[in-house]
Amino acid sequence: MKKKIIIFLLIITGLIIISYTGWIIYQEAKKEKEGLVKYEHEKYYIIKDTPEGKIVENKHAGLSFKVPNNWKIKKPPTGILDVIRLYSPNSEEKNGIIMKTGCRIIPEISYVNTDISTIKKELSHNSIWSKYIVKTTNIKIKDYQGLKYVAESSELKFHHIGIILPAKDKVYSFSIDSNLEERTICSQLFDKFLKTVLIE
Protein backbone atom coordinates (compact mmCIF):
# COMPACT_ATOMS: atom_id res chain seq x y z
CA MET A 1 0.00 0.00 0.00
CA LYS A 2 2.83 2.38 0.97
CA LYS A 3 4.58 1.59 -2.29
CA LYS A 4 1.46 2.46 -4.31
CA ILE A 5 1.09 5.80 -2.49
CA ILE A 6 4.76 6.67 -3.11
CA ILE A 7 4.43 5.79 -6.84
CA PHE A 8 1.20 7.84 -7.05
CA LEU A 9 2.87 10.85 -5.38
CA LEU A 10 5.90 10.55 -7.68
CA ILE A 11 3.60 10.53 -10.75
CA ILE A 12 1.65 13.57 -9.48
CA THR A 13 4.92 15.41 -8.70
CA GLY A 14 6.25 14.55 -12.16
CA LEU A 15 3.07 15.81 -13.84
CA ILE A 16 3.25 19.06 -11.85
CA ILE A 17 6.90 19.59 -12.86
CA ILE A 18 6.15 18.83 -16.53
CA SER A 19 3.10 21.15 -16.51
CA TYR A 20 5.04 23.95 -14.83
CA THR A 21 7.97 23.57 -17.24
CA GLY A 22 5.57 23.60 -20.19
CA TRP A 23 3.91 26.76 -18.85
CA ILE A 24 7.31 28.50 -18.46
CA ILE A 25 8.31 27.53 -22.03
CA TYR A 26 4.96 28.79 -23.36
CA GLN A 27 5.30 32.12 -21.53
CA GLU A 28 8.85 32.63 -22.84
CA ALA A 29 7.76 31.80 -26.40
CA LYS A 30 4.84 34.22 -26.05
CA LYS A 31 7.15 36.99 -24.81
CA GLU A 32 9.57 36.33 -27.67
CA LYS A 33 6.75 36.41 -30.24
CA GLU A 34 5.28 39.61 -28.81
CA GLY A 35 8.75 41.14 -28.72
CA LEU A 36 9.30 40.73 -32.46
CA VAL A 37 7.71 44.12 -33.10
CA LYS A 38 7.86 46.94 -30.60
CA TYR A 39 6.15 50.24 -31.31
CA GLU A 40 7.55 53.65 -30.44
CA HIS A 41 6.15 55.10 -27.21
CA GLU A 42 4.17 58.33 -27.38
CA LYS A 43 6.47 60.00 -24.82
CA TYR A 44 9.12 60.41 -27.54
CA TYR A 45 6.92 62.58 -29.78
CA ILE A 46 7.43 66.28 -29.09
CA ILE A 47 5.19 68.88 -30.76
CA LYS A 48 6.85 72.24 -31.39
CA ASP A 49 5.26 75.49 -32.53
CA THR A 50 7.57 77.25 -34.98
CA PRO A 51 7.20 80.24 -37.33
CA GLU A 52 6.75 77.68 -40.16
CA GLY A 53 3.97 75.84 -38.27
CA LYS A 54 3.76 72.80 -36.00
CA ILE A 55 6.69 70.35 -36.15
CA VAL A 56 6.54 66.87 -34.63
CA GLU A 57 9.96 65.65 -33.53
CA ASN A 58 11.08 62.27 -32.29
CA LYS A 59 14.79 62.41 -31.50
CA HIS A 60 14.72 58.91 -30.03
CA ALA A 61 13.87 57.44 -33.45
CA GLY A 62 15.49 60.17 -35.57
CA LEU A 63 12.27 61.41 -37.15
CA SER A 64 10.64 64.79 -37.67
CA PHE A 65 7.88 66.13 -39.90
CA LYS A 66 5.72 69.21 -40.37
CA VAL A 67 2.02 69.05 -39.55
CA PRO A 68 -0.01 70.41 -42.50
CA ASN A 69 -1.45 73.88 -41.82
CA ASN A 70 -4.63 73.94 -39.72
CA TRP A 71 -4.53 70.16 -39.15
CA LYS A 72 -5.23 68.72 -35.70
CA ILE A 73 -3.04 66.27 -33.78
CA LYS A 74 -4.91 63.62 -31.80
CA LYS A 75 -4.35 60.30 -30.08
CA PRO A 76 -5.91 57.21 -31.69
CA PRO A 77 -8.81 55.28 -30.12
CA THR A 78 -7.90 52.91 -27.28
CA GLY A 79 -6.46 49.58 -28.36
CA ILE A 80 -4.89 50.85 -31.60
CA LEU A 81 -1.10 50.57 -31.93
CA ASP A 82 -0.21 53.93 -33.49
CA VAL A 83 0.21 56.79 -31.02
CA ILE A 84 -0.32 59.97 -33.02
CA ARG A 85 -2.73 60.94 -35.79
CA LEU A 86 -3.06 64.06 -37.93
CA TYR A 87 -6.51 65.17 -39.13
CA SER A 88 -7.44 67.69 -41.81
CA PRO A 89 -9.93 70.44 -40.86
CA ASN A 90 -13.54 69.22 -40.55
CA SER A 91 -12.51 65.58 -40.93
CA GLU A 92 -14.61 62.82 -39.41
CA GLU A 93 -13.86 59.13 -38.88
CA LYS A 94 -16.38 56.44 -39.68
CA ASN A 95 -14.34 54.18 -37.38
CA GLY A 96 -10.70 53.70 -36.35
CA ILE A 97 -9.78 52.65 -39.90
CA ILE A 98 -12.16 54.29 -42.40
CA MET A 99 -12.73 58.03 -42.85
CA LYS A 100 -16.17 59.52 -43.40
CA THR A 101 -14.86 62.92 -44.52
CA GLY A 102 -11.48 64.62 -44.81
CA CYS A 103 -7.97 63.16 -44.59
CA ARG A 104 -6.05 61.42 -41.80
CA ILE A 105 -2.28 60.87 -41.74
CA ILE A 106 -0.78 58.25 -39.43
CA PRO A 107 3.00 58.21 -38.82
CA GLU A 108 4.28 55.09 -37.09
CA ILE A 109 7.63 53.73 -35.93
CA SER A 110 8.18 50.08 -35.10
CA TYR A 111 11.33 48.33 -33.97
CA VAL A 112 11.89 45.22 -36.04
CA ASN A 113 14.60 43.92 -38.38
CA THR A 114 13.08 43.37 -41.81
CA ASP A 115 13.51 44.16 -45.49
CA ILE A 116 11.36 45.16 -48.45
CA SER A 117 10.81 41.60 -49.73
CA THR A 118 9.50 40.49 -46.31
CA ILE A 119 7.28 43.57 -46.11
CA LYS A 120 5.84 42.76 -49.56
CA LYS A 121 4.99 39.22 -48.45
CA GLU A 122 3.39 40.40 -45.20
CA LEU A 123 1.45 43.09 -47.04
CA SER A 124 0.09 40.71 -49.64
CA HIS A 125 -0.92 37.95 -47.19
CA ASN A 126 -1.17 39.11 -43.57
CA SER A 127 -2.26 42.74 -43.66
CA ILE A 128 -5.74 44.15 -43.10
CA TRP A 129 -5.24 45.82 -46.49
CA SER A 130 -4.19 42.65 -48.37
CA LYS A 131 -7.40 41.99 -50.30
CA TYR A 132 -7.91 45.68 -51.10
CA ILE A 133 -4.47 46.53 -52.52
CA VAL A 134 -4.71 47.81 -56.09
CA LYS A 135 -1.13 48.98 -56.59
CA THR A 136 2.37 48.64 -55.10
CA THR A 137 5.51 50.48 -56.16
CA ASN A 138 9.03 50.98 -54.87
CA ILE A 139 9.71 54.41 -53.42
CA LYS A 140 12.68 56.36 -52.09
CA ILE A 141 12.42 58.99 -49.36
CA LYS A 142 15.68 60.74 -48.61
CA ASP A 143 18.20 57.85 -48.48
CA TYR A 144 15.68 55.14 -47.62
CA GLN A 145 14.26 52.61 -50.07
CA GLY A 146 10.74 51.54 -49.30
CA LEU A 147 7.39 50.39 -50.55
CA LYS A 148 4.30 52.40 -51.45
CA TYR A 149 0.92 50.72 -51.73
CA VAL A 150 -2.61 51.86 -52.51
CA ALA A 151 -5.67 50.08 -51.14
CA GLU A 152 -9.29 50.96 -51.78
CA SER A 153 -12.80 49.58 -51.80
CA SER A 154 -15.87 50.95 -53.57
CA GLU A 155 -18.02 48.77 -51.31
CA LEU A 156 -16.48 50.05 -48.05
CA LYS A 157 -15.88 53.50 -49.58
CA PHE A 158 -12.30 54.01 -48.44
CA HIS A 159 -8.97 54.97 -49.98
CA HIS A 160 -5.67 54.25 -48.21
CA ILE A 161 -2.07 54.99 -49.22
CA GLY A 162 0.79 53.54 -47.20
CA ILE A 163 4.54 54.10 -47.24
CA ILE A 164 6.80 51.60 -45.47
CA LEU A 165 10.52 52.32 -45.06
CA PRO A 166 12.75 49.69 -43.40
CA ALA A 167 15.87 51.21 -41.84
CA LYS A 168 18.31 49.07 -39.82
CA ASP A 169 16.36 48.00 -36.70
CA LYS A 170 13.35 50.23 -37.40
CA VAL A 171 10.49 50.56 -39.83
CA TYR A 172 9.06 54.02 -40.53
CA SER A 173 5.49 53.96 -41.82
CA PHE A 174 3.28 56.77 -43.06
CA SER A 175 -0.27 56.41 -44.32
CA ILE A 176 -3.19 58.57 -45.37
CA ASP A 177 -6.84 57.62 -45.30
CA SER A 178 -9.83 59.22 -46.99
CA ASN A 179 -13.13 58.43 -48.62
CA LEU A 180 -13.15 57.78 -52.37
CA GLU A 181 -14.42 61.25 -53.32
CA GLU A 182 -11.55 63.04 -51.54
CA ARG A 183 -8.76 60.66 -52.50
CA THR A 184 -7.17 63.01 -55.06
CA ILE A 185 -6.88 66.01 -52.76
CA CYS A 186 -5.77 63.83 -49.82
CA SER A 187 -3.16 62.13 -52.01
CA GLN A 188 -1.77 65.52 -53.04
CA LEU A 189 -1.65 66.66 -49.41
CA PHE A 190 0.14 63.41 -48.51
CA ASP A 191 2.81 64.08 -51.16
CA LYS A 192 3.38 67.54 -49.66
CA PHE A 193 3.56 66.07 -46.17
CA LEU A 194 6.15 63.47 -47.22
CA LYS A 195 8.44 66.25 -48.47
CA THR A 196 8.66 67.53 -44.87
CA VAL A 197 9.68 64.14 -43.44
CA LEU A 198 13.25 63.99 -42.15
CA ILE A 199 14.82 60.70 -41.05
CA GLU A 200 18.29 60.73 -39.50
Domain borders along the chain are 1-34, 38-199
pLDDT digits (tens, 9 = 90+) for 30-44: 333 444 568 888 899
| CB 159, CB 177: distance < 8 Å | yes
Q: Around Cβ 95, how many Cβ atoms within 10 Å?
A: 9
| CB 134, CB 152: distance < 8 Å | yes
pLDDT digits (tens, 9 = 90+) for 75-91: 887 767 778 999 999 99
pLDDT at residue 4 in the model: 56
Q: Which residues contact 140 (CB under 8 A, 6 or more apart)?
A: 146
Architecture of domain 38-199: 3-Layer(aba) Sandwich (3.40)
